[in-house]
Structure formats: C-alpha cells, structure tokens
Amino acid sequence: MLKLFLDATDEIPWDALLFVTGHINYGGRVTDDQDRRCLITVLEKFCSAPCLSDTYKYTPSGIYYAPPDGKIDVYRDYIEQLPMVDGPEIFGLHENANINYNIIESNRVVETVLGIQPRLQTVAGGLTPDEIVLEKSKEFLDKLPEELDQKTGLKELFIQDA
C-alpha cells in the first residue's frame, strides 16, 4: 500500500496513509474507540511531513529522532546511545507519569513483601506458622513405623535384586 501511494503521486498523501494505516491495517485490530484515537494520534506524530526533515525531533529532549541517511554504523551508533528505559516523553506523557508509576510500583512491592512476611501469631493468639509446621512434623514422625534393622529383622525382607 505504501509503495502504491508513493508511486501514484508526486506529493505524499499523508491523510490517505494515515487513514489506511490507522483505520484499516491496524484499526481492525483495535476494538476500543479511545485506543483507536490514541493510535491515530501517535500515527499523526510519526507519519507527517515534518518527520522527513533531518532536524526533526520526536521529543522535546531531542533524544528521539530519525538518524540521517548513512551506512549501517550510523544507525547502530544511534541505537546504542538510546536509553535502556524509555522515559514518559516518548509516549507523549509528562514526567509526572513516571513519578506516579514509581509510586504505584513501590506500593505494590511493599504490599507483596508484607503479604509474604510470616505472621508472629494467629488472630486468636495461637501458634506461629513455624510452630504449626513443627507440630505437624512431630505428628508425622510419631505415625511412622520404627526403622527396620537388617540384623534383627527377617533376612527375606532385605533381599536386594542384583
């Protein structure tokens, strides 16, 4: 489709590319109207005439841009200098989104740690989990039969297959 659009006219038909990409190619997979609006907004940012300029930056910080034409090393060098963790600006969000995410993630970690921490006593003031396990293990040991002794037992019971 892209080749067809680009070969058909001298000008790039941005609106047609946006419609075909956003509503037809990917739009059929997006079932929520708000997600479709988000998809179209992202495509408008990355599929537009200003993107063709060598000085165009996708984000205000200037970290994200299309590297100029060159050999493969130009692209590799650009990719190597990108941050390992993308900040919220690449998604069109304010830095506060990152702060909010970190608060939520910290709370989740603390809740998980508290959730798996052993309780010192049960609600009724009973045994601790460690004491319950120890008591159960003693019960199991008491139910086990005595160990068989080869010297005092029947020799037929201790025959081993060779």
> Tell me: the pLDDT tens digits for 29-85?
888 888 888 888 888 888 888 988 888 998 888 899 988 888 999 999 999 999 998
Does residue 41 sit within a domain?
yes
Inside any domain, residue 19: yes
Residues spanned by the domain of 8: 1-52
Give CA–CA dist 43/145, Å, rounded. 73
User: Quick check: is 28 in a domain?
Assistant: yes
Answer whether residue 12 is part of any domain. yes
Residue 13 lies in a domain: yes
pTM of the model as a whole: 0.52
87 belongs to a structural domain: yes
* Total domains, the chain: 2
Q: Is 35 among the domain residues?
A: yes
Do both 3 and 47 map to the same domain?
A: yes
The conformation of residue 31, written as its DSSP 8-state character, comes to: -
List all residues 6 or more positions away from 78 whose beta carbon is below 8 Å from its beta carbon.
67
Question: What does the alpha-carbon distance between residue 4 and residue 17 come to, in Å, rounded to a whole number?
Answer: 10
Cα dihedral 43, 45, 46, 50 sign: positive
